[in-house]
Amino acid sequence: MAPVFRSSSFAGVLQEAGRFFANIQTRDKKAVIRFAGAGVYALYYYGNNILYSNSVSIEGGIEYPIYIGKAVPPGSRRGVDASDSDTCFALWQRLNQHYRSIDSAENLNRDDFRFKAMAMLHPETDLISAVESYLIREYCPLWNSVVDGFGNHTPGEGRFDQAKSDWDVIHPGRKFAEKCRGKHNSEESIREKIMSWRMTI
């Protein structure tokens, strides 16, 4: 077994980030101009789709997101930090991608969604993935834990033999998803998963 690193302060840092994130107000996409920064974000659903009636519940003042994600600065995989630059719009760009997916879906409306975003600068950008994982564990968002595929990108050349994601099955409309030729889950089975998840929360 390899040597095990332990940090007595790491859990506290994640909890601090979680408290900060919880206190951020949700915003309407239409009312917000482009902003700079990398970090983590969440989407909240306020529509009438009965499948999602529990995904927007509020208990004890806690509002539950339907999806949580991250946006890292360009070059982060190579150890290059661009998070402090006015030209880094990773959060804004990622949210725009998601809203385009929502616009493409035949049975979703962007007006039913709000978001919150938390920017992180260097050196905190090194914690973006850890904070995202922590928030997903804390809130268990439906589109992270049960309905897979919302954050998918267009498959690379020659990779359309894969199956359509569960998200694309119940929210048809994204052009790249319609090209996927693999055997996907049935809409009925996905709805059953969602209903079962609702019974456990």
Structure pTM? Answer: 0.88
Domain-wise residue ranges, the chain: 12-147
| pLDDT, tens digit, 9 for 90 and up, residues 53-75 | 766 655 555 678 999 999 998 76
1 CB-contact burial (10 Å; exposed 0-12 / middle 13-18 / buried 19+): exposed
Parallel/antiparallel/unpaired status of strands 39-45 and 67-71: antiparallel
| pLDDT, tens digit, 9 for 90 and up, residues 153-171 | 776 555 667 888 999 999 9
Our CA angle for 94, 97, 102, nearest 5°, is 130
| pLDDT, tens digit, 9 for 90 and up, residues 96-152 | 999 999 999 999 999 999 999 999 988 899 999 999 999 999 999 999 999 999 988
State phi, psi for 39 to the nearest 5 degrees: 155, -145
